[in-house]
Amino acid sequence: MDKQALYTYLKEKGIPFEAVEHPAVFTVEEALALNLPRPEAGAKNLFLTDKKKRNYCLLTARDHIPVKLKDFQAAIGLTGLKFASEEDLMAILGLIRGAVTPFGALNDTYHRVTVYLDDHFRDHEISVHPNDNTATVYLQGSQLAELLRENGSRVEFIDLEHLGEEANP
C-alpha cells in the first residue's frame, strides 16, 4: 500500500488524520530538523528479527526514549534480536530503509510481524510515515493499533520508558 492508497484507506475507515508532506528523511535527526508540528508525537521505528528469522518485530517508540534491546527482548520473551535486513524489510513490509512505519504491517500479507507500540501512544497522538518517508501522518495511537488489528496484525502496547526497571530496582 503506497502513500496515496493509505490516505484513501484511512478516509474509508473514518480515521481522522493529518498528513504533512516534506522532503525525504531517513533518520530521526533528519525528521527533527524539519521542525514538524507536534514534536511530542514523534516516533522511531525498529524492524527486528531473531537470529533464525523466525520472529519479526516492529518496535515503535517515542523518538526521545532510549531503547534497550536486551530489556525489550526479555519483556517479549525472545532472544538474539537484531536489525532485520533491508531485503526482509522490503519483502515483508514493502518498505525501504528510512521509511519504516507501523503502517507497513498493512503490507504483511502473512502477518509475520508483531507490532509493539510504546504504551504512551495508547492514549496519545503518534506521528509515523505513511509507508513513504516523504510525509508524516498524525493520528491517535489507539486508532492505529485498532486499524492494524482489523487487518490481522498482532499489535501489543509495551511500556518502554520503564522497561527493565523491575529487574534493576
Domains and CATH numbers, the chain: 3-158 (3.90.960.10)
Q: Residue 69 contacts by C-beta under 8 Å, 6 or more apart in sequence? A: 48, 81
What pLDDT does 135 receive?
95
What pLDDT does 50 receive?
94
Strand partners, 154: 114
How confident is the model over 109-153, as pLDDT tens digits? 999 999 999 999 999 999 999 999 999 999 999 999 999 999 999
pTM comes to 0.92
Distances (CA, A) of 8 to 1, 94, 98: 10, 18, 23
- Joined together, the cell numbers standing for residue 144 give 492505529
**CA–CA separation, 59 vs 61, rounded Å?**
6
